[in-house]
Amino acid sequence: MFVTKKKVNGKDYYYLQKSIREGNKIKSECIAYLGKDKEEADKRAAEIIEKIKKEEWRVKDMGDGEENKENMVNENKKEEKSKLSIDEKASSIFTIEELTTFCKRKGFVYPSAEIYGGLAGFWDFGPLGVELKNNLKREWWKYHVYQREDIAGIDGSIITNPKVWKASGHADNFTDVYVKCKKCKKPSKIDKKDIGKVKCECDGEYEVIGDFNLMFKTNVGPVETENSLAYLRPETAQLIFADFKFVQENSRLKLPFGIAQIGKSFRNEISPRDFLFRCREFEQMEIEYFIHPEKRKECSYFEELENFELNVYSEEMQKTGKDSVKMKIKDAVEKEIIKLKWHGYWLANETKWFLELGADKNKFRVRQHLSEEKSHYATDTWDLQYKFPFGWQELEGIADRGNFDLSQHEKFSKEDLKIFDEETKTKVLPHVVCEPSLGVERAFLVFMFDAYNFDEKRQNIVLKLNPKLAPIKAAVFPIVKQPEYNKLAEDIVRDLRKEFNVVYDKSGSIGRRYARNDEAGTIACITVDEQSLKDKTITLRDRDTAEQVRVKIPELKEIMRKVINEGSSILEFGKKVSTRVK
C-alpha cells in the first residue's frame, strides 16, 4: 500500500492506494482518501495500514435471503469474502467517499438521475435521506422559530424580480474566475481569492480569461427577451430583506428581531465536490437578525449563554500561526476577540443547536474571516466550522451585514424600509448584526459522520442518530411468519404510524432485521413473539446497546414519545430480557 498525490485545480489531494495483480497486469486501486495535508495524510495512511494488519475482519452479507440460507457458506463465497475484506477494512475508517457509498446503498442519497449518468452537483434524497433531512429542518425551525419570541418565518419564492439581484450586488459581483493554463492550455475555473495562488495540475501558471457569474439564469414567459431574464436564487437572504417591512408589521415584531427561512438555493459552482458539501442545488436555513443601529453593543440574550464554551480561532491566531483556544463567550467578548456580544451569542447559539442534537463537541470551531476575505457588505464575519475528514470547513457563515442590504433595497425599489422603534420613538433602518446561514446538506453530513459507528461486537454499522433525527422511529417484526403474529404486528404498526414513521419488517432472520435497522439508525426494534400472543407484551430493543426490555403494547406510544422528545432511554421502561442475537 502506498500514498499518492493528485493535483486538482492546482491543489494537492492525497489517497491511499494498493496494487493488485490482474492476470499479468498490475493495477492500482484507491483504498481511502487521506486529506489535503501531506503530514496528516502519512499519519492517516499509517493508522489505516496498522488497523488492516491488526484486526480480524468479517464481511457481512446484508442481503434479504431466507433464514435457512444464512449459514450456507461454500468455498467460493469464502474466497469472494477474503477478496472483499480489504475494502471492508478500509470502509470502517470513514471518509467522504465511504459516506457517499453508504448513503447510496442504504437509500439516503443518490446521484441525481444516476440511470442517465447523474449531473455533477445535484443529488436526490432517497427514502431514509428525505426523512433525516425533514427531521433536521423541523428541529432547526422548532429551535429558531417556535421556541423564541423574537423570530418569525417566511417562505419566499425561488425565482423573483431580477431587480432584487441588482440591488443585492449578486448580478454584478457574484462571480468566480475563468482561467486557462499557460503550459497545457487546459481551461479551468477558480475562486477570485485564488488568483495568483493556485496552479494547474501540470504545475503551469494560470492566465485569467474573465469572470463567471454563479447564478443560474432562466426565462420567465413564452418569449425569450432581455426583459424575461430571471435567476434561480443563489441565497435565501434577499427575500427576507425584500419582505422585511410586511413581516415586521404582520408579526408585530419589535427590535431586536429576526426573520427565518428554509429553502432551496442554486449556485453554478465551478467545482462541486465532497459529496453534499458543495452542490449546485442545496438548501439554506437562514436568519436575518435586525437590531437598532444605535444599540449594536446591547445583546438582550447574552447572559443566557455567556458561559457557553467555544473553540475560538481569531484572525490574530490565524495570522500568527497559533492554535484555536477554548473559551467562554463572555471571556472572548471581554478580551475583544469577539467584538460584539451579538456575535458571541449567535455563535454559541448555533453551536448549541448541533450539540443538543448529538454532534461531537470536539469537532466544532469558530473562525474569524481574515480582513482580506470578507464579503463586500460585511464588517465582521465568523464561520462556524466542523472538522470533516477533508479538513476544517465552513458549516455556517455568521456575518455582520450592517444596513447594506436594506439600504440597497431602499435605493433600488425607492420604497421606505425604515420602521418605527417604539422604545426610542424614532424611525430607523435596522442593522443586520448577524446572519446565521446554514446549509442543510452540510448539517446532514455532520450528523451522518458523528452518528456512524462500526460496532465490533455486532460486526455491523450502527447509525447512532439522535432519536429526533432518526429517519425511522421503530421497526416492528413478527418473530415468525404466521397469521396471528403478523396480525398483532400489523395492529401495532397501524397504531404507531398515526404519530411516528414506523416500518413493518417481516423478511429475513431476526439478526438481519436488527442489522438492517441498526444501519438505518432505527431507534427501536419491536418484536412480536410467542409471549405477545398470551399477554399483549412485546420486546423493545435499544439500537445503541442492543439490549432489550419487555413492555406492554398499550404503553408503546408513550414510551416512544419520551424516547424521542425527552431523550429517555428505552431500557428505563421495562424488565431486561435476554437478547435473541448474541
Per CB under 6 A, residues contacting ligand ATP are 235, 267, 269, 278-279, 282, 284, 394-397, 437-439, 441-442
Please identify, using beta-carbon distances, which residue of 48 and 366 lies nearer to ligand ATP: 366
The single-letter DSSP state of residue 372 is G
CB under 8 Å to 199, separation ≥6 — which residues?
10, 205, 206
CB of 271 to ligand ATP, least distance (A): 10
User: What is the C-alpha separation between 493 and 271, in angstroms, rounded?
Assistant: 45
CA distance 412 to 241: 12
Contact between 107 and 282 under an 8 Å Cβ cutoff? The reply is no
Residue 271 or residue 453: which is nearer to ligand ATP going by CB? Answer: 271
Query: By C-beta, is 57 or 141 nearer to ligand ATP?
Result: 141
Residue closer to ligand ATP (CB basis): 395 or 523: 395
* Residue matched to cell numbers 431486561: 576
DSSP assignment string, 425-450: TEEE--EEEE-EEEEHHHHHHHHHHH
Nearer to ligand ATP, 278 or 550 (CB): 278
Q: Are strands 206-213 and 175-181 parallel, antiparallel or unpaired?
A: antiparallel
What is the C-alpha to C-alpha distance for residues 234 and 59, in angstroms, rounded to an integer? 44
Residue 409, H or E segment: helix 404-413
Nearer to ligand ATP, 89 or 442 (CB): 442
CB of 397 to ligand ATP, least distance (A): 3
User: Which residues neighbour 150 within 8 Å (Cβ) at sequence distance 6 or greater?
Assistant: 253, 256, 257, 258
Q: Least separation, in Å, of the C-beta of 252 and ligand ATP? A: 29
- Kindly state the smallest distance separating residue 21's Cβ from ligand ATP, in Å: 40
Beta carbon of residue 385, minimum distance to ligand ATP (angstroms, whole number): 10
Nearest CB to ligand ATP, comparing residues 9 and 284: 284
Considering the complex, what minimum distance in angstroms separates the CB of residue 513 from ligand ATP? 35
Query: Which cell numbers in the block locate residue 136?
Result: 433536521
| Beta carbon nearer to ligand ATP, 282 or 346 | 282
Q: What is the CA radius of gyration of the chain?
A: 27
Residue 34 gets which letter from DSSP? E
Instruction: Tell me how far, at minimum, the Cβ of 392 lies from ligand ATP, in Å.
Output: 12
- The CB-of-216 to ligand ATP minimum distance in angstroms stands at 12
Q: CA 64, 100, 121, 205: dihedral to nearest 10 degrees?
A: -150
Cα torsion through 281, 283, 288, 289, rounded to 10 = -150
If the CB atoms of residues 10 and 397 are measured against ligand ATP, the closer one turns out to be: 397
Grid cell listed for 354: 448541533
Buried b (16+ CB within 10 A) or exposed e, 418-445: ebebeeeeeebebbbbbbbbbbbbbbbb
Instruction: Supply 519's cell numbers.
Output: 444501519
Q: For residues 384 and 367, give the distance between their C-alpha atoms in angstroms, rounded to a whole number.
A: 7
For the CB of residue 278, give the shortest distance to ligand ATP in the complex, in Å.
4
Q: Which is nearer to ligand ATP, 268 or 466 (CB)?
A: 268
118: phi then psi, degrees, rounded to nearest 5: 70, -175
Q: How far is the CB of 65 from ligand ATP (least distance, A)?
A: 39
Least separation in angstroms between CB 545 and ligand ATP:
34
Is the CB of 174 or the CB of 477 nearer to ligand ATP?
174
My answer on whether omega of the bond before 471 falls inside 30° of 0, hence cis, is: no
CB of 201 to ligand ATP, least distance (A): 21
Cell, residue 68:
435457512
Task: Please give the residue whose beta carbon sits closest to ligand ATP in the complex.
Answer: 439
Phi, psi (degrees; rounded to nearest 5) at 304: -55, -35
Which CB atom, from 374 or from 418, has the smaller least distance to ligand ATP? 374
Q: Which three cell numbers stand for residue 199?
A: 496552479
- Quote the distance between the C-alpha of residue 474 and its chain's center: 23
